[in-house]
Amino acid sequence: MVVNKRLEKLLNTEGPLLAPSLLAADFTNLAAALAKVSGADALHLDIMDGHFVPNISYGPAIVKQLRPLWDKVFDVHLMVKHPEAWLEAFADAGADIFVFHLESTDHAHRLVQEIKKRGMLAGISLNPSTPASCLEAILPDLDLVLLMTVNPGFGGQSYIESMEKKIAEVREMIHKTGKKILLQVDGGIKEETITGAAKAGADFFVAGTSVFKADNPEAEIEKLKLRARGVK
């Protein structure tokens, strides 16, 4: 698969990756919010439909309007039923990574193939209660796995520390494939929790409240990356 320059840069970046979650930003001035996190590796876009999760966020029209304002990767996380129905719209809106929940569709392999045909990285997310073993059949086809460290649907929740065992399990599964597959975590990621997730094997971190609500979001991004590297 041929990737665009944004993805190429992301995939060649050394060290932990960090993507602020737009859900925690000030929606009255998104342009200013994006300017405050320009040092991030990607922007995480949480798409909620009010059915798969009990909340509604925003859709492809907003993502398309944001595309000219952000020259890095758009990491789109679909917390929706029937994510395949949204594939074309988010591809057209400028998504670079398309992540859907394994629990949300009956035809995960087909959707992964269709995502890649459109030049995007394909990712699958698991809810906290979904076992890692569910990934076994499809893992070699993925570019990214997103493990939720909170139950999806709302920002600002507390990190579920017991998920670190699952992170370590998936990291070992990825190692056995012999492939470069990003292992992302999302939920309650802050300075106090990112080190544990990193030690367990995560290499791509989503942080919403801890970044956008910080006095200095850019400095907070750097602090988080240092903590992920084990630097206090």
What is the spatial distance between Cα 9 and Cα 167, in angstroms, rounded to a whole number? 25
Catalytic residue among 41, 46, 96, 143: 46
Question: In 66-188, at which residue ranges do the beta strands (DSSP E only) sit?
Answer: 73-79, 97-101, 121-126, 144-148, 182-186
Q: Is 186 a catalytic residue?
A: yes
Calculate the dihedral angle through the C-alpha atoms of 179, 204, 19, 73, rounding to the nearest 10 degrees.
-10
CB pairs under 8 A, 24+ apart, for 25-34?
25/212, 26/212, 30/66, 30/69, 31/69, 33/212, 34/66, 34/69, 34/70
Active site (annotated) includes residue 46: yes
- Which of the following is catalytic: 49, 75, 143, 186? 186
How far apart CA 62 and CA 141 sit, in angstroms, is 29
Exposure b/e, 31-66, CB count within 10 A at least 16 = b: eebbebbeebbbbbbbbbbeebbeeebbbbeebeeb
Taking the CA of residue 49 as centre, how many other CA atoms within 13 Å lie in the half-sphere pointing to its CB? 15
| Residue 5: count of CB within 10 angstroms of its CB | 8
DSSP 21: B
Q: Which residues are catalytic?
A: 46, 186
